[in-house]
Amino acid sequence: MGFGQHQSFYFRPSWINKGLTHVNQNSRFFYEKNHFEVLGLGKNMAKSLRHWLIATNVIEEQKGKQTVHAFTDFGNVVFRYDRHLQHGLTLGMLHYNLVTNKDIATTWYWFFNEYRESVFDRERLMRSLEKWVEVNGLKSVSENTLKRDIDCLLNMYSLKDYKQLTPEDVISCPLENLEMVSKSVNNYYTKSFADVEEIRDILFMSLLIYSKKHGQTEFAVEELAEAPELWGKVFNLSRSAIVEYVTQMTEDYPLRFIRTNKLDTVLLTKEVSSISALEERYKQYSKEVSSYA
């Protein structure tokens, strides 16, 4: 399990591009003594950047005579097509990879896959995380570490009222654009569904990843709504929203929706690589942009 590895920093808009660019040029970049100076970051920020690159599955560690970092297949596609994170699809997939990475980003996994409350304050969230950690036999994790995780997660996803902030305080994380957590005036937070234009693409790509990981091509709607790493949990979608999206998606994606009196089921009707599908979608985006140019 991984807690507190972010050094209390969420990743900034330029970080993914910076990290990928340097890893592309030098697979041992993060082991160079002056790497943080080259990045223009402090030492702890540079450690944080490395953590987020691994946690979102754009790079991986490869151990041999020397430990190096290399692009994952997903990272290679992001570097080629959207290293500046302009597309909602990229944000959605970074989010999916992060919150299903239980070993490295455990608090993020817990918040989106295990924590059932949709309205909460920091204190309630903290107490729930502490209980989950204890139940799962992880008592060695300190309260301060868990608090830093909670603070980082909420700051990472919460939409901010920039009208009330000074320019120095305006430090955003790209994932807040998914609008999945909002803060009210009384310091309560609310989970919201991922409302982005590319949500159907995001749902399809994430289902392909899940299908390959678990060897599963048939899904009950209740499973899509309630099981860890699937749509309802990861993207804060209700059962009715899932049914609505699936109904729309059967026209454009290799999905079949079977509705019966007892069980509604979604089938993946074609074996598709998530990486190939992702790359094709980016190419289609490029064509659409070119047609408007």
* Segments making up each domain of the chain, as ranges: 199-292
Q: Which of these, 153, 16, 15, 157, lies nearest to 74 by C-alpha position? A: 16
Q: Which of these, 256, 293, 274, 288, lies nearest to 73 by C-alpha position? A: 274
Q: What is the pLDDT of residue 4?
A: 92
pTM of the model: 0.94
Q: What is the pLDDT of residue 194?
A: 86
Distances (CA, A) of 269 to 129, 211, 252, 253, 257: 38, 12, 12, 9, 10
Edge-to-edge strand ranges of the sheet holding 255-259: 218-220, 264-268, 255-259
Alpha carbons 39 and 36: distance in angstroms, whole number: 5
Q: What is the pLDDT of residue 195?
A: 80
Looking at the chain, how many residues does it have? 293
Tens-digit pLDDT profile for the chain (293 aa)?
789 999 999 999 999 999 999 999 999 999 999 999 999 999 999 999 999 999 999 999 999 889 999 999 999 999 999 999 999 999 999 999 999 999 999 999 999 999 999 999 999 999 999 999 999 887 788 999 999 999 999 999 997 655 455 444 457 899 999 999 998 878 899 999 988 999 999 999 999 999 999 999 999 999 999 999 999 999 999 999 999 999 999 999 999 999 988 899 999 999 999 999 999 999 998 877 665 55
Q: Indicate the CATH number for domain 199-292.
A: 1.10.10.10
* Torsional sign, CA 189, 135, 230, 103: positive
Alpha carbons 78 and 83: distance in angstroms, whole number: 5
20 CB contacts (<8 Å, ≥6 apart)?
53, 58, 59, 71, 75, 78, 79, 83
Q: What is the pLDDT of residue 166?
A: 47
- Residue type for 171, please? I
Alpha carbons 78 and 93: distance in angstroms, whole number: 10
Give all strands (DSSP E) within the chain, no chain letters.
Answer: 59-62, 68-71, 119-120, 181-183, 189-191, 218-220, 255-259, 264-268
